[in-house]
Amino acid sequence: MGIVAHVDAGKTSLTERLLYAAGVIDRVGRVDDGNTQTDSMDLERKRGITIRSAVVSFALGDLPVNLIDTPGHSDFIAEVERALSVLDGAVLVISAVEGVQPQTRLLMRTLSRLRIPTLLFVNKIDRVGARYDELLADIKRLLTPAAVPMVGVTDLGTRSADLVALDDEPLAEMLAERNDDFLERYLAGGPLDVAGELRRQVAKAWVHPVYFGSAMTGVGGTRGDRRHPVMVASGHWIG
Ligand SMILES: Nc1nc2c(ncn2[C@@H]2O[C@H](COP(=O)(O)OP(=O)(O)OP(=O)(O)O)[C@@H](O)[C@H]2O)c(=O)[nH]1
Ligand SMILES: [Mg+2]
């Protein structure tokens, strides 16, 4: 699993959060304090930037996971390219404030070309100036029309920003556009395995679910009783 983004979007902070959520570490380090797992070189810790791709390996149940935190600075692009060639899946991180940036577009183009299953994670929803609707529109216009939001956000742009469940309808509609059998069942009002179909279409890199959260406050994932994938590794879905 690769975590990729434009510089400063929060890749290292998100990686740290994921390690915490997976039970690998029992304290969340901070880039600004120079104590994260993946910014481990002296220069990285001093400058608060990632220079080298770093892999952290752990198990989720029986499933081995190799999480790769990549650099965002364009000087270190070779490090990212090397990582891309081994990925089973990617999380493309976008800052809710800065939005879609040049490196974001470049990465999405490359991930699409390589048909790597890619989730989008809009980070920093706690920061002043964080956007939702406008950013989703930018994502669809500049990155991929096949982007679909998985959660809504309350108190956007504040420390108490949180997630709310969304209606499944737009998601089902988007999936129906890409699978005739699913479309037939959708039109007939029949029982729909939305989560299963989403998994299949994400694995084929046909659709890109958009998650929202904050690596800083730890808000993320989904809300309500939806059980949708948040990570992929070796063709298996986790979460
Ligand atoms: N408010 C807020 N700040 C964040 C969040 N995530 C990261 N930051 C801050 O944003 C800055 C960059 O975070 P990093 O995690 O180093 O970002 P990065 O994408 O790994 O940066 P590079 O590897 O250098 O490209 C740091 O000052 C973080 O503390 C977030 O969710 N909310
Ligand atoms: Mg980093």
Tens digit of each residue's pLDDT, the chain (239 residues)? 999 999 999 999 999 999 998 888 999 999 999 999 999 999 999 999 999 999 999 988 888 999 999 999 989 988 898 889 889 999 999 999 999 999 999 999 999 999 999 999 999 999 999 999 999 999 999 999 999 999 999 999 999 999 998 988 999 999 999 999 999 999 999 899 998 999 999 999 999 999 999 999 999 877 754 444 443 333 333 33
Beta-carbon neighbour count of residue 95 at 10 Å?
Answer: 23
Q: How far is the CA of 7 from the centre of ligand 1 (A)?
A: 9
Contact 202, 208 (CB under 8 A): yes
Q: Whose CA is nearest to atom 8 of ligand 1?
A: 10
Whether ligand 1 lies within 6 angstroms of the CB of 49 is answered as: yes
CATH class of this structure's domain 2-236: alpha beta
Q: How far is the CA of 152 from the centre of ligand 2 (A)?
A: 26
Beta strands across the sheet bearing 63-69: 54-60, 63-69, 2-5, 90-95, 118-123, 208-212, 147-149
